[in-house]
């Protein structure tokens, strides 16, 4: 059942926000002060593409490496203060294996910030127009939060196609604050995960919107979205299974009916989709050619074990397991199976994509994400998780139609969100180790005895002395890494 809402986030053409959509917008505006403008860890590599092209007009990342946070620098900068020679590739460029998609999505925000800085400097403001000053970092942080919010809104629009709006809303809020998303939407905004969630949500949203009858032009638009989705996060290529299965199903139906002309048009549409996808993915290929000398060299080396994937560890390990760290996603995963009752194709495609993500991440030697809150690699699947949770909530309501089930469901989601927020606090303040396994006994004790006592003071520092707090956190992280020689930073 589909509710009516804003044209951008719905399929009905109605232009007014519903009460639940308005609540999501208000909640987003209320959380904007949580944005933490800093460039750290993997974010140095992602942001370097945007800054170097905007300021220096070439792929020169030397200033980004030299001015990076200490844990990023420790394996890349020698004791003489110079970039280590091992950091350079055969083409003479710095080894930046991160994706260019986040830089593409940040571009509108950075252009506005850069123009503002130049205008302000013309009036004597004296702001450094180097890409490192506060306006630039704030701009990309706002951009990341905005894209993360769009992923939630698009997912909400998808979920309410299948369930009543209240369950779609509760699921959207639950995954928004009960998963790893908020860490990479607010606290580490220079990373790629919130943008990846947006790109996947847009891809799935457009598939749903056009799947009954897709013109060649719409195939081209979907291909452009797919290319952008892969620019942002390479693993998102697994979402192309939606297009593959969809097309195979159509070919089978058309050949059964002997409608060869329509099958030919579909073949042309598939070719257009692929060509536009390749064109949209070209920024990544060009950058890889410049940095590594090959269009197909991604820069990750031999970090894969395809014959012995760590599937159970990726889900349940205390070392950033998906379900052990963010248990609300257990319900979401179950909901993908129940989704088949509402939409067989969507449910099956979603389950296959989830399993494909799990297998691929399990094959990656750093499947735990190193310095990660939960298993951050799965944040790309945020829209599927929101839909899955919404379906579970609706199923529970149908089984127990009493009015109190709404209160019980909302309370359960609230408890899981509170657990997640407390664990985020522990992770950010290093009450539990940011890398490696954690003690769940210690984490549970901290949730009850430490977090309530220290959270107020820490949040006050976060809003009033944030720079000092971030420096203290960074130094704590640096000390922990030095005590574990050989441990990678990110």
The confidence score (pLDDT) of residue 16 equals 79
Residues 224 and 122 both lie in one domain = no
Report the distance separating Cα 220 and Cα 194, nearest Å. 25
Residues 369 and 462 both lie in one domain = yes
293 inside domain? yes
Residues 23 and 108 both lie in one domain = no
pLDDT at 3 over 50: no
CA atoms in the 13 A half-sphere facing the CB of 253: 8
6 inside domain? no
Q: Could you tell me what percent of the chain has a pLDDT over 70?
A: 95
**Residue 244: count of CB within 10 angstroms of its CB:** 12
Residue finishing a domain among 117, 136, 155: 136
Report whether 240 contacts 275 (CB < 8 A): no
Residues 265 and 406 both lie in one domain = yes
150 alpha-carbon distance from chain centroid = 11
The confidence score (pLDDT) of residue 486 equals 55
pLDDT at 338 over 80: yes
Residues 420 and 340 both lie in one domain = yes
The confidence score (pLDDT) of residue 7 equals 42
Nearest to 273 by CA among 244, 234, 252, 235: 244
399 alpha-carbon distance from chain centroid = 33
167 inside domain? yes
Report whether 207 contacts 236 (CB < 8 A): no
Report whether 183 contacts 424 (CB < 8 A): yes
Report the distance separating Cα 440 and Cα 317, nearest Å. 11
Angstrom distances, CA of residue 463 to CA of 96, 423, 450, 457, 487:
33, 19, 20, 10, 32
487 inside domain? no
What integer is the mean pLDDT of 155-167?
A: 96
Residues 145 and 126 both lie in one domain = no
> In terms of C-beta density within 10 A (0-12 exposed, 13-18 middle, 19 or more buried), how is residue 474 classed?
middle
Report the distance separating Cα 383 and Cα 461, nearest Å. 33
Residues 382 and 464 both lie in one domain = yes
**What is the tens place of the pLDDT at every residue in 213-225?**
899 999 999 999 9
The DSSP-derived string for 305-348 is -TTS--HHHHHH-TTT-HHHH-THHHHHHHHHHHGGGT-HHHHH
The confidence score (pLDDT) of residue 268 equals 97
Report whether 9 contacts 202 (CB < 8 A): no
Residue finishing a domain among 136, 164, 192: 136
Structure-derived torsion over alpha carbons of residues 26, 28, 29, 34, reported in degrees to the nearest 10? 140
Report whether 416 contacts 327 (CB < 8 A): yes
Residues 334 and 384 both lie in one domain = yes
286 inside domain? yes
Residues 96 and 225 both lie in one domain = no
Report the distance separating Cα 451 and Cα 437, nearest Å. 20
pLDDT at 484 over 70: no
Report the distance separating Cα 173 and Cα 421, nearest Å. 13
β-bridge mates for residue 83, sequence order = 77
**What is the tens place of the pLDDT at every residue in 95-134?**
999 999 999 999 999 999 999 999 999 999 999 999 999 9
Residues 258 and 229 both lie in one domain = yes
The confidence score (pLDDT) of residue 6 equals 37
Residue finishing a domain among 136, 162, 182: 136
- Min mean pLDDT across 4-13, 284-293, 459-468 is at 4-13
b/e for 150-183, b at 16 or more Cβ within 10 A? Answer: bbbbbbbbbbbbbbebbbbbbbbbbbbbbbbbbb
Report the distance separating Cα 96 and Cα 45, nearest Å. 6
157 inside domain? yes
3-state secondary structure at position 239: helix
Residues 314 and 166 both lie in one domain = yes
Domain hosting 131: range is 42-136
488 inside domain? no
Q: Taking CA 82 as the corner, what is the angle to CA 78 and CA 87, rounded to the nearest 5 degrees?
A: 75
Which residues have C-beta within 8 Å of that of residue 178, sequence separation ≥ 6?
326, 328, 413, 416, 417, 419, 420
Specify the number of domains making up the chain: 2
Residues 61 and 188 both lie in one domain = no
């Amino acid at each position: 059942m589909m509710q009516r809402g804003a044209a951008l986030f719905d399929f009905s053409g109605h232009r007014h926000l519903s009460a639940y959509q308005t609540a999501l917008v208000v909640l987003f505006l209320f959380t904007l002060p949580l944005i933490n403008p800093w460039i750290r860890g993997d974010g140095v590599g992602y942001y370097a593409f945007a800054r170097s092209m905007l300021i220096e007009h070439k792929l020169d990342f030397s200033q980004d490496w030299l001015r990076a946070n200490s844990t990023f620098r420790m394996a890349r900068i020698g004791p003489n203060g110079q970039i280590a020679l091992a950091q350079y590739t055969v083409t003479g460029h710095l080894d930046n294996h991160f994706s260019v998609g986040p830089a593409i999505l940040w571009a509108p925000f950075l252009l506005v910030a850069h123009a503002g800085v130049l205008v302000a400097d013309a009036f004597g403001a004296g702001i450094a127009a180097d890409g490192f000053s506060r306006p630039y970092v704030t701009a990309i942080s706002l951009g990341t939060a905005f894209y993360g919010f769009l992923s939630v809104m698009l997912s909400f629009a998808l979920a309410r196609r299948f369930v009543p709006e209240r369950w779609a809303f509760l699921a959207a809020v639950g995954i928004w604050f009960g998963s790893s998303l908020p860490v990479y939407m607010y606290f580490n905004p220079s990373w790629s995960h919130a943008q990846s969630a947006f790109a996947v949500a847009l891809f799935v949203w457009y598939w749903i919107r056009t799947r009954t009858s897709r013109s060649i032009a719409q195939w081209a638009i979907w291909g452009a979205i797919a290319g952008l989705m892969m620019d942002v996060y390479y693993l998102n290529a697994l979402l192309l299974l939606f297009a593959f299965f969809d097309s195979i199903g159509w070919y089978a139906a058309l050949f059964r009916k002997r409608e060869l002309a329509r099958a030919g048009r579909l073949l042309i549409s598939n070719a257009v989709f692929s060509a536009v996808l390749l064109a949209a993915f070209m920024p990544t290929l060009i950058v890889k050619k410049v940095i590594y000398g090959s269009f197909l060299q991604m820069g990750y080396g031999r970090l894969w074990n395809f014959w012995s994937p760590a599937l159970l560890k990726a889900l349940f390990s205390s070392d950033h397991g998906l379900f052990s760290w963010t248990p609300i996603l257990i319900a979401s995963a179950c909901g993908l199976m129940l989704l088949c009752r509402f939409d067989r194709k969507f449910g099956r495609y979603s389950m296959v994509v989830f399993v494909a993500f799990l297998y691929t991440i399990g094959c990656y030697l750093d499947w735990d994400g190193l310095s990660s809150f939960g298993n951050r690699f799965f944040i790309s699947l945020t829209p599927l998780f929101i839909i899955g949770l919404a379906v579970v909530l609706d199923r529970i309501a149908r089984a127990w139609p009493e009015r109190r089930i709404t209160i019980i469901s909302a309370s359960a989601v609230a408890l899981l969100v509170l657990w997640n927020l407390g664990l985020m606090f522990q992770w950010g303040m290093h009450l539990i180790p940011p890398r490696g396994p954690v003690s769940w006994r210690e984490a549970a004790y901290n949730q009850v005895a430490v977090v309530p006592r220290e959270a107020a003071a820490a949040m006050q520092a976060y809003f009033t002395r944030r720079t000092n707090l971030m420096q203290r956190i960074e130094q704590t992280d640096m000390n922990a890494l030095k005590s574990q020689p050989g441990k990678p930073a990110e």
